[in-house]
Amino acid sequence: MSDDMELCLKAGDWKGLAKHCEMAELQSSVPGGKLNKEVCAALLAVYILERDLLNAKFLWKRYTQRYPGDRQASEIAGIWEVGKALWNKDFALAHVNLAMMKWRPHVQPIMKALTSSLRVEAATMVANCFSQISSRKLSAMLGVPNAVEACAELGWALDGEIVRPVKVARPPTTMWSHAPERLASLTELLSTLEN
């Protein structure tokens, strides 16, 4: 990993890290170029953290074409297992896959951020979709061993094995909220490819 990537990783600048990793992948696509597996793992993890699962899937396909023997045993395969679980909206499996691996330093902070954001996302979904849920199912969805602590932290009522979540007010979102940012990113990518 380059120094810029290391700085982005330490600062938690996931968009900056993705930009540097994408550039490194583009540079490796020239004839004779070699894709760094650490860069690929970091980019895949950032795509999944940002819930850009479509780009994550395409990156996984490109990676497995270059390294066909790495489909099962690599850290990148473990990261993709988390991505597949999120693709299928299976929060419990995503947490299991996140906890199964000992992540190396170049992806560990990203996976830690993913675990936290996944818990927040799952708690918000449960609060807005369920009037009650079993504590065992809530534990699995939040990826925590004990729902009692999670309920206390979230301010939810626990009645025996039944949890009664409190609805969370959702901020209004628009479909196009990230459109200018994505358009600028695509324009920069295309100009890089043309030059």
Sheet holding 162-164, edge to edge: 133-134, 162-164, 157-159
**Can you give the pLDDT at residue 113?**
94
Mean pLDDT on 168-176? 59
Spatial CB neighbours of 29, under 8 Å, sequence gap ≥ 6:
35
Contact between 28 and 65 under an 8 Å Cβ cutoff? The reply is no
- Whether the CA torsion 69, 75, 79, 81 is positive or negative: it is positive
pLDDT tens, residue by residue, 95-115: 999 999 899 988 999 999 999
The yes-or-no verdict on residue 72 having pLDDT over 60 is no
Outline where DSSP puts E strands in 64-154.
133-134
Spatial CB neighbours of 93, under 8 Å, sequence gap ≥ 6:
85
**Rounded Cα–Cα distance for residues 195 and 183 (Å):** 18
pLDDT tens, residue by residue, 114-153: 999 999 998 888 998 889 999 899 999 888 888 888 888 8
- Whether the CA torsion 1, 104, 11, 28 is positive or negative: it is positive
> Which tokens in the block code for residue 143?
């990826």
Mean pLDDT on 23-32? 80
Mean pLDDT on 156-180? 74
Q: What is the DSSP letter of 159?
A: E
Side-chain half-sphere CA neighbours of 4 within 13 A: 11
pTM comes to 0.77
The yes-or-no verdict on residue 182 having pLDDT over 80 is no
Largest CA distance in the chain: 64
**Can you give the pLDDT at residue 175?**
52
